[in-house]
């Protein structure tokens, strides 16, 4: 059974169709890259998966559990949405750390709130787990730093640790390196590559074609709200079948 199964997903903003019949699945331990021109609907797709937008059609299931089905649009209250959202971790382009909290607090905050509600783990256990995650990101010595005291690459690595802290089924990245210069891009891509080697189930929206090809198990090329082509990255990126994919990739230098 796939971890994620998306079927016929639709999203409109007014008269604009932003997602059109989007369907794909993702198996446990796989990394999926989504590529496509600006405005093709990549961010909207991630936002729909994370319940930041409500789709207008189709369905989303995680581990066989239907999270959303437009054919059966039960009214969801906020606490149900929050629960469904926990299946996904989301890492944004601009890090979006809480500026008033340290790196460690950014990582532990959501888990502490959850534990408070459900009477789960101790604060100490959560802090230890948070430190461990920061160490995995190469940030053991930055736990007490505030976001403004960290480089962009370090902030993004804190954001990745924060997303991992809640043990999501699927970790989603929306252009995680596009706000970073090349050196810092490298350090964040290395972390994502490590996660892929550890078989973390991930969706990565990226403009880094070489990275998409080397790290992802599958790639989706979107254009105008449609999936134009999907499959093995070496086929889609090195040997695209569709003219639109070829035109898009021609804008990227081969490496």
Ligand X SMILES: Nc1ncnc2c1ncn2[C@@H]1O[C@H](COP(=O)(O)OP(=O)(O)OP(=O)(O)O)[C@@H](O)[C@H]1O
* Binding footprint of ligand X, residue count (CB under 6 A): 11
* Coil, helix or strand at residue 33: strand
- Give the span between the Cα atoms of 205 and 102, in whole angstroms: 27
CA distances from 76 to 80, 82, 148, 251 (A): 6, 10, 37, 42
What is the smallest separation between the CB atom of 142 and Mg ion, expressed in angstroms?
A: 28
Helices (H) and strands (E) in the chain, counts: 9, 10
Of the residues 4, 41, 131, 223, which one makes contact with ligand X according to CB under 6 A: 41
Of the residues 33, 43, 50, 206, which one makes contact with Mg ion according to CB under 5 A: 43
Binding characters for ligand X, 10-39, by CB under 6 A (x = yes):
---x--x-x-----------------x-xx
What is the smallest separation between the CB atom of 38 and ligand X, expressed in angstroms?
A: 3
The runs of H, that is alpha helices, within 55-203 are 78-85, 103-118, 123-136, 152-165, 182-197
Identity of the residue, 14 or 119, whose beta carbon is nearer to ligand X in the bound complex: 14
Nearest to 45 by CA among 73, 17, 14: 17
Please report, as residue ranges, which positions from 44 to 83 form the binding site for ligand X (by CB under 6 A).
44
What is the smallest separation between the CB atom of 31 and Mg ion, expressed in angstroms?
A: 18
Which residues lie near ligand X (CB under 6 A)? 13, 16, 18, 36, 38-44
Which residues lie near Mg ion (CB under 5 A)? 43
């Amino acid at each position: 059974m796939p971890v994620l199964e998306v079927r016929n997903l639709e999203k409109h903003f007014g008269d604009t169709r932003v997602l059109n019949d989007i369907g794909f699945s993702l198996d446990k331990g796989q990394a999926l890259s989504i590529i496509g021109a600006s405005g093709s609907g990549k961010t909207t797709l991630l936002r729909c998966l994370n319940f930041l937008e409500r789709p207008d059609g189709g369905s989303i299931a995680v581990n066989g559990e239907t999270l959303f089905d437009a054919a059966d649009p039960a009214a969801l209250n906020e606490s149900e949405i929050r629960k469904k959202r926990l299946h996904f971790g989301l890492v944004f382009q601009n890090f979006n750390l809480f500026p008033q909290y340290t790196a460690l607090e950014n990582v532990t905050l959501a888990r502490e709130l959850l534990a408070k509600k459900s009477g789960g783990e101790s604060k100490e256990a959560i802090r230890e787990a948070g430190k461990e995650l920061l160490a995995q990101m190469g940030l053991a010595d930055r736990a007490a730093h505030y976001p403004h005291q960290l480089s962009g690459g370090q902030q993004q690595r804190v954001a990745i640790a924060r997303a991992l802290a809640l043990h999501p089924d699927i970790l989603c990245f929306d252009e995680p390196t596009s706000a970073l210069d090349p050196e810092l891009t490298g350090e964040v891509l290395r972390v994502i590559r490590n996660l892929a080697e550890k078989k973390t189930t991930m969706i990565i929206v990226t403009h880094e074609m070489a990275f998409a090809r080397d790290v992802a198990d599958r790639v989706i090329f979107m254009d105008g709200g449609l999936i134009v082509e999907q499959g093995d990255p070496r086929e889609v990126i090195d040997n695209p079948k569709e003219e639109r994919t070829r035109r898009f990739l021609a804008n990227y230098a081969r490496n």
